[in-house]
Structure 1
Amino acid sequence: MTAYSVLVPFMPRRPEQILPYAGLVSWTNAERLWQGQALLVEPHQAFTYAAGAGFRVPVGLGVTLTGLRHPLEAALQARSLAMTTGHSVVAGFGPGGRHFQEAVREKAYDKPLRAVREYLVAVRKLLGQDITGVEGEYVTSRAQLPASPAPRVELGLGVLRPGMARLAGELADRAITWLTPADYVKSTIVPSLREGAERAGRAVPRITAMVPMALEDAERDAVRTVLASNQAHLTFPHYIDMLNRAGAGIAEDDGPDVRARKLVDCGGFLYGPPARLAELCAAYTDAGVDEIVINLTGIHGLYGQQAVLDELRVLLGEFTR
């Protein structure tokens, strides 16, 4: 059965801003509270604040960027969060886009798959008190964390295309997708995960799909909502490549409105009444997705927090009944 979770739909400026979402996870059938990489209040700190305020809920980091912290820091932060919340943590990682890599490194990764492989291996060894370390092309780690009882830290990998999916199948506990239509998950991501897992002789990792969506309303415009949620993603080459593999047909000279319509048409953004959204989410279940994270960033950007919380209650009620 597919679980449903909640994404914090903005970058908090104060940690108390995530408390209504942590409360919603605590009081409903939502599985987990997720936050992506933030450059204001950092998600590890925000989740720790929520735990200190009494909302000790399962959390997921989807995804944090490898260039911002050494694997030792990544492992330490993830395990610390598990110990603080008392729940399992999904620690998702990704290399970020080329421009981000250039901003935090001397140059972008020449071999991003190798860089991520070395990073994930180093974090897993640190979490498992493996003293062998990593001496790689991109990662050097000779440190060790002290042994301590803690809830499990699952390692996730942000996945858009077949190469990273094969790597996730080989190394990760979770494949975390963003903006990926259900048909593309079924036809491309799942076979690639299976290929990587079979090569490594291990089980296929679980799939968490971050799915942007919004309820249809007479006073809302679908295109405007999509752009409030994903306008930047619709300009990034790696997202355009993934969406075009999924059949979006986005052309270089397409304007923002056209790109937004094509995103809805290919199933990358879900829009409709509650029953229709439940039907569209069922396609992710059929594709093999284990967890759907409800992403209402567009609603937050246009209508604010109360509209998001109201919509989450409606959707969670529809999806989990």
Structure 2
Amino acid sequence: MRIGLLVDEMGPSLDTVVDQARAAATAGFSGVWLGQRTGRDALTALAVTGRQAPGIELGTTAVPTYPRHPLTLAAQALTVQEAVGNRLTLGLGVSHRHIVEGQYGYSFDRPARHLREYLSALVPLLRGESVSYQGETLKAVGAVDIPATAPPSVLVAALGPAMLRVAGELADGTITLWATPAGLTDHVVPTITRAAGRGEPRVVASTFVCVTSDEDDRRAWVAEHFGMAGQIPSYRTMLDRSHAAGPQDTVIVGDETGVERQIRQLFDAGATDLIAMLLGPEDEQARTTELLTDLAG
């Protein structure tokens, strides 16, 4: 199983992020992933941490597209790719209306159109090609010249059918959040696979994982801290497709046997990778890490 670990990029210091990434590599996780929220820049942090976490995938989940022009993001991503020895996976997404319009001041009109135009410019740039692209909302003319750097894999945080079709056609796969096995097998996997029309796109499922005897308490914590996600349209639709009342119904919690069974159900539903977000006190996180690394094998 390909099991990666989400490292908290909002930690108390960048040194803490580096230490956690190094520990994940040592433990045997397949990859380290950083989110992009209101703190450190995920790509910059990966450039710093990558050399201290050798031999594993380094990913973002997910860099928002709107505030970064494709030429700018291509230059940044390829610089990170050079710094970490071609181990970067660039996870990106359109974010949400309340962020794009409320914080950035951009229009969130037809985000799937924006994503298609963005990837149409970005992906060739990551391959080192010169582009002259003019879409309805985006223009990109030029190239990024960083010799001897392989193009990073590109994944899209896509949940709805339009976004999944774009991800399947123009990217290497998707990163999901708040998706259960039912949501993957009934919606995500068939939609992106049909759109890809080639091979098997990556379906990277990210979720909280906790080996615990206090399952109700852990679900209650997720409901308290992430319950508002259920009011965001793209997440609400994914939760409905996953037959989940809220994010708390999508997490993987229980004893070792139960957690292993739930993880296997995700992979049986079509997930190619799991990004585990650790939950609970230190002793439970240690038990969870031991089980996850055993499964990653």
Query: What TM-score does the superposition give when structure 2 sets the normalisation length?
Result: 0.91
Alpha carbons of 1:295 and 1:229: their partners in 2 closer, same or farther (altered >3 Å)? Answer: farther
Q: Tell me if the contact between 1:58 and 1:87 (Cα under 8 Å) persists in the aligned partners.
A: no
Name the aligned partner's letter for residue 76 of structure 1.
A
- The residue aligned with 2:137 is 138
- The residue aligned with 1:55 is 53
User: Counterparts of 1:136 and 1:35 in 2: how far apart (Å)?
Assistant: 30
Alpha carbons of 1:137 and 1:116: their partners in 2 closer, same or farther (altered >3 Å)? Answer: same
Q: Tell me if the contact between 1:183 and 1:246 (Cα under 8 Å) persists in the aligned partners.
A: yes
Q: Tell me if the contact between 1:163 and 1:192 (Cα under 8 Å) persists in the aligned partners.
A: no
Name the aligned partner's letter for residue 78 of structure 1.
A
Q: Tell me if the contact between 1:12 and 1:40 (Cα under 8 Å) persists in the aligned partners.
A: no
- The residue aligned with 1:289 is 271
Map residues 140-159 of structure 1 onto 2, 5 A cutoff: 140-159=139-158
User: Counterparts of 1:133 and 1:236 in 2: how far apart (Å)?
Assistant: 35
Partner secondary structure for residue 232 of structure 1: helix
User: Counterparts of 2:236 and 2:126 in 1: how far apart (Å)?
Assistant: 35
User: Counterparts of 2:129 and 2:64 in 1: how far apart (Å)?
Assistant: 23
Displacement after TM superposition at 1:218 (Å): 4.3
Displacement after TM superposition at 1:288 (Å): 1.6
Partner secondary structure for residue 149 of structure 1: coil
- The residue aligned with 1:277 is 259
Q: Tell me if the contact between 2:2 and 2:272 (Cα under 8 Å) persists in the aligned partners.
A: yes
- The residue aligned with 1:112 is 111
User: Counterparts of 1:122 and 1:18 in 2: how far apart (Å)?
Assistant: 32
Alpha carbons of 1:10 and 1:225: their partners in 2 closer, same or farther (altered >3 Å)? Answer: farther
Partner secondary structure for residue 138 of structure 1: coil
User: Counterparts of 2:30 and 2:90 in 1: how far apart (Å)?
Assistant: 15
Partner secondary structure for residue 130 of structure 1: coil
Q: Tell me if the contact between 2:63 and 2:91 (Cα under 8 Å) persists in the aligned partners.
A: yes
User: Counterparts of 1:151 and 1:307 in 2: how far apart (Å)?
Assistant: 40
Count of residue pairs brought into register by the alignment: 296
Name the aligned partner's letter for residue 212 of structure 1.
F
Q: Does 1:179 align with 2:178?
A: yes
Q: Tell me if the contact between 2:3 and 2:275 (Cα under 8 Å) persists in the aligned partners.
A: yes
User: Counterparts of 1:227 and 1:113 in 2: how far apart (Å)?
Assistant: 29
Return 281-290 or 227-236, whichever deviates more: 227-236
- The residue aligned with 1:315 is 291
Q: Tell me if the contact between 2:173 and 2:192 (Cα under 8 Å) persists in the aligned partners.
A: no
Name the aligned partner's letter for residue 53 of structure 2.
F
Map residues 74-93 of structure 1 onto 2, 5 A cutoff: 74-93=73-92
Displacement after TM superposition at 1:109 (Å): 2.3
User: Counterparts of 2:96 and 2:58 in 1: how far apart (Å)?
Assistant: 24
Alpha carbons of 1:311 and 1:71: their partners in 2 closer, same or farther (altered >3 Å)? Answer: farther
Map residues 1-321 of structure 1 onto 2, 5 A cutoff: 2-9=1-8, 11-51=10-50, 54-56=52-54, 57-198=56-197, 202-218=198-214, 221-227=217-223, 230-248=226-244, 250=245, 259=246, 263-264=248-249, 268-296=250-278, 298-299=279-280, 303=281, 306-307=282-283, 310-321=286-297
Displacement after TM superposition at 1:278 (Å): 0.9
Name the aligned partner's letter for residue 233 of structure 2.
P
Displacement after TM superposition at 1:37 (Å): 1.1
Partner secondary structure for residue 221 of structure 1: helix
User: Counterparts of 2:79 and 2:9 in 1: how far apart (Å)?
Assistant: 24
Displacement after TM superposition at 1:246 (Å): 2.1
User: Counterparts of 1:88 and 1:283 in 2: how far apart (Å)?
Assistant: 28
1:7-52 CA distance string (max 9 Å, x none): 0146234211212321123212211100111221111122222235
Partner secondary structure for residue 93 of structure 1: strand
User: Counterparts of 1:227 and 1:215 in 2: how far apart (Å)?
Assistant: 18
Return 5+ residue gaps in structure 1 as ranges.
251-258
Query: What TM-score does the superposition give when structure 1 sets the normalisation length?
Result: 0.85
Q: Tell me if the contact between 2:9 and 2:40 (Cα under 8 Å) persists in the aligned partners.
A: no
User: Identity, % of aligned pairs?
Assistant: 24
